[in-house]
Amino acid sequence: MKKTTVITGCSSGFGKDLALKRARRGDRVYATMRGTEGKNAAVAAELARVAASEGIDLRVLELDVTSTASVDAAAAAIVSESGAPDVIVNNAGVMFTGLTEAFTSEELTTQLDVNVVGIHRVSRAFLPEMRQRGRGLIINLSSIAGRLGAPFFGVYHASKWAVEGYSMALRGELACCGVDVVVVEPGPFSTALFHVSPQPTDLESRVATYPPVAHATFKGLGETFNGMFNDPNTPTDPAMVVDEINALIDIPAGSRPLRTVVGVDVGVRERNAAVEPFDAAVLAAFGMSEFATLAPSPSA
């Protein structure tokens, strides 16, 4: 069945690849990104050329997840053209890396604004129409970083743990409305995310006051990840994430798992399985077990 699919962060990586794949499968896809007439003009033009040459319904649209005005304008245009979307993929994100203390509060705020508040802006913009229709799917891109904590990723971990908690609560609240919410938790993948990872400006030179082991370990992270990406036996092909998202979209409503781990997981799959009974017990303890079941969709 042809779906209307909205994807954020389509200038590269998972978002761009998913937009093309869904459109080629017959969806009407809104491939959104910021800077369609600026920094990402070349990518926007490339997607438009592919859409025209292949005759697929792929529509590039300006959307900056850090701007409520931009998100609301894009949502209004989409709803006006196509009604409530069937699928929203909140893919836009950034990964800050470095010593946590060295990040300013403003830099931490930026990390959270993109990865967490951005998801909220996009979801909130479409939810009235999706709830009114009584069906739909929101897929939030989290990370295995949302289920663990490691040195030099503290700011990024904060954002992805927030995505996890936000998504769990939203899933329960929207279950009675027929709108499903799930998270995808990729491990390390060879996308542009690592290569453009912002580090702290560290104007106070706090990094320099850390022992040599901290500097050596952080420097070695890049080599570790490059080793993963260059190892043909390590699952780091971004196509795996795109295929998993496609599979989730195709699963019948009410049957989708809350969390789906993709790629190198360092035990996160087992961790997720272990906490599922606990999460269910929390809802039961508060008399909210009905929020664990997605309401059936009305006939289209």
Active site residues: 11, 142, 156, 160
What is the maximum alpha-carbon separation in the chain? Answer: 63
Q: Are 264 and 234 in contact (CB under 8 A)?
A: yes
* Residue in the block written with tokens 């992270």: 221
Cα 163 from Cα 159, distance rounded (Å): 6
Q: Are 194 and 95 in contact (CB under 8 A)?
A: yes
Q: Are 248 and 181 in contact (CB under 8 A)?
A: no
Cα 238 from Cα 256, distance rounded (Å): 21
CA distances from 107 to 44, 90, 200, 215, 223 (A): 28, 21, 7, 20, 25
Instruction: Select from 92, 94, 121, 122 the least CA-distant residue to 9.
Output: 92
DSSP string spanning 203-234? TT--GGGS-HHHHHHHHHHHHHHHHHHH-TTS
Q: How many Cβ atoms are within 10 Å of 253's Cβ, its own excluded? A: 15
Q: Are 133 and 148 in contact (CB under 8 A)?
A: no
Q: What six digits make up the tokens of 80?
A: 């006006």
